[in-house]
Amino acid sequence: MPLDAYEGPTLFHVGYLKTASTYLQHAVFTNPAFGCALVGGRENRGHIMEWFRTSDAYLFDPTAVAREMARLEAPVRAQGLIPVWSEETLLGDPIKRCYHGAWMLEKLAAIGRPLRILFTIREQKALALSAYREFLKLNRNGLTDFIGTGREPRSHRPILHPEFLCFDIAVVRWRNAFRPENVLVLPKEMLDRDKEAYLGRLAAFLGRDGAHPAPTQSFNVGLGGAALVASRGLNALVVRSPLHSRRSLVERAAGRLKRSIDRLSPHALDTAIERRWKADIATRFAGLYEGPNSRLAEITGLDLAALGYPVAGRNEAPGQPQER
C-alpha cells in the first residue's frame, strides 16, 4: 500500500434531505481538491440503498456489509482520498413517508467501522416548503395534508411528521453512538451566506485544513408555484415503475408541460402562491422549534439564531435523549 494511502475514518453523510446534498455530492465529494471521493461514483447511492433501505431487515449482515464497504473503498484510499458515502434520506424521507433514522443508526453502528458522520440541516420552515415542492413532483396531496393541522385524530399523521424537524433529537443519538468529535452539523444557511466558512468547517472536520475552492454550481432548481400547483393534476397521469428510475413517455410529456407552464406563468402569480404556502407553514410550525434549536445550538456551538433559526431558552421535553 502506498505511503500516501488514506487509512482514517470514512465520511458518511446521512441527511437531512433538501439541505444542498446534491451540491455536496456533485461539487464537493467528487472534487479532488477537497481530498475526498464518492465511493463507486454514480453507484454510491445504489450501494447504500441496497444495504440499508431496500433489503430485507431480517437478512441484514453487518459483517458482510463492512467487508463490501472496505473492498469498494480500497481504490479511493489508495489514492490518498477520504472515502465518502452520501445519502440524504438515511435520517428519514418524509416525501415517501419513511421515518427510519433510528433504524439506520443501529445498522451503521453495527457495522463496527470507524466513521465520521455529517448532518446537513436547514431552518425548519424553509425545509418544509422545499420538501413540499419536491413532493409535488409526483404526488397530489395539498399542503395541509403534507404539514398537518396539529389536530389529527389518534393514529393519523401528516405526511411530514413535525418531530422529524427536531434535529437535536437525532444529533444527540448519533453523537452518543459515534462520539461527539465524529459528528458534524452543517446548516445550509451557512453555505448560502459564506461558502468558504461552510467548506472550511467541513475541511477541518476531515482533517484537510487549508484553502479550498468554493464551487458555485447550482443544482435542483425547482419550478415556480403555478407549475407546481398544476403538477397536482398532471401527476394523476403518471405511474412510475418500482423496478427502475426511467421516466415513461407520459411522465416526460407531463414534465414538458410543467416546464411550459413555469415559463409562461406570471412571476406575480408564482410569488403569491409561494407567499401563501410560507404563511401556512409559519402558522403550523409557530413555536415548535425554538426549544429544539436552542438545544442544538448548545451542543454544536452553532449560532443558529444568526442564521435565521427560531431560537429561545433551553426547553427540554420529557423523554428527550441526553448526551452521554
Q: What mean pLDDT is predicted for residues 23-32?
A: 90
Q: Is 132 helix (H, G, I), strand (E, B) or coil?
A: helix
d(CA 210, CA 207): 9
Residue 316 is assigned to a structural domain of this protein:
no
pLDDT band at 322 (very low <50, low <70, confident <90, very high): low
19 and 118 belong to one structural domain: yes
174 and 91 belong to one structural domain: yes
Task: Give, in degrees to the nearest 5, the angle at Cα 187 between 213 and 149.
Answer: 145
Residue 294 is assigned to a structural domain of this protein:
yes
Q: What mean pLDDT is predicted for residues 62-88?
A: 96
The confidence score (pLDDT) of residue 218 equals 61
Is the pLDDT confidence value at 214 over 80? no
Please name which of 65, 104, 39, 43 lies closest in space to residue 245, comparing C-alpha atoms: 43
d(CA 134, CA 307): 23
255 and 106 belong to one structural domain: no
Q: Is 242 helix (H, G, I), strand (E, B) or coil?
A: coil
Q: Is 30 helix (H, G, I), strand (E, B) or coil?
A: coil
Point out the least confidently predicted range of 12-21, 62-71, 210-219: 210-219
d(CA 315, CA 295): 7
CATH of the domain at 122: 3.40.50.300
Residue 309 is assigned to a structural domain of this protein:
no
Residue 18 is assigned to a structural domain of this protein:
yes
Q: Are 284 and 147 in contact (CB under 8 A)?
A: yes
Is the pLDDT confidence value at 319 over 60? no
175 and 293 belong to one structural domain: yes
Q: What mean pLDDT is predicted for residues 117-140?
A: 95
Q: What mean pLDDT is predicted for residues 250-279?
A: 90
Q: Are 173 and 321 in contact (CB under 8 A)?
A: yes
Is the pLDDT confidence value at 52 over 70? yes
pLDDT band at 320 (very low <50, low <70, confident <90, very high): low
Residue 314 is assigned to a structural domain of this protein:
no
Q: Specify the higher pLDDT residue, 264 or 315.
A: 264
The confidence score (pLDDT) of residue 216 equals 62
Q: Are 19 and 88 in contact (CB under 8 A)?
A: yes
Is the pLDDT confidence value at 185 over 60? yes
197 and 259 belong to one structural domain: no
Residue 322 is assigned to a structural domain of this protein:
no
Residues in a beta bridge with 38: 84
The confidence score (pLDDT) of residue 316 equals 44
Q: Are 273 and 225 in contact (CB under 8 A)?
A: yes
pLDDT band at 221 (very low <50, low <70, confident <90, very high): low
Q: What mean pLDDT is predicted for residues 275-286?
A: 96
d(CA 173, CA 180): 10
Is residue 16 reached through a cis peptide bond, with omega within 30 degrees of 0 on the bond before it? yes
75 and 133 belong to one structural domain: yes
81 and 230 belong to one structural domain: no
pLDDT band at 317 (very low <50, low <70, confident <90, very high): very low
d(CA 287, CA 23): 31
The confidence score (pLDDT) of residue 244 equals 79
Q: What mean pLDDT is predicted for residues 245-251?
A: 84
pLDDT band at 314 (very low <50, low <70, confident <90, very high): very low
64: Cβ contacts below 8 Å, ≥ 6 apart: none
Residue at grid coordinates 434531505: 17
Q: Taking all residues of the chain, what is their mean pLDDT, rounded to a whole number? A: 90
The confidence score (pLDDT) of residue 219 equals 61
pLDDT band at 228 (very low <50, low <70, confident <90, very high): confident
Domain of 97 in residue numbering reads as 10-219+288-300
**Amino acid code (one letter) for 163:** E
Point out the least confidently predicted range of 17-26, 50-59, 247-256, 292-301: 247-256
Q: What mean pLDDT is predicted for residues 125-136?
A: 96
237 and 109 belong to one structural domain: no
Please name which of 131, 162, 88, 96 lies closest in space to residue 228, comparing C-alpha atoms: 131
pLDDT band at 255 (very low <50, low <70, confident <90, very high): confident
pLDDT band at 318 (very low <50, low <70, confident <90, very high): very low
**Amino acid code (one letter) for 249:** L
The confidence score (pLDDT) of residue 112 equals 94
d(CA 107, CA 55): 12
Residue 323 is assigned to a structural domain of this protein:
no
Residue 212 is assigned to a structural domain of this protein:
yes
251 and 158 belong to one structural domain: no
208 and 233 belong to one structural domain: no
74 and 112 belong to one structural domain: yes
d(CA 174, CA 172): 6
Point out the least confidently predicted range of 10-24, 145-159, 171-185, 200-214: 200-214
112 and 61 belong to one structural domain: yes
Q: How many domains does the chain have?
A: 2
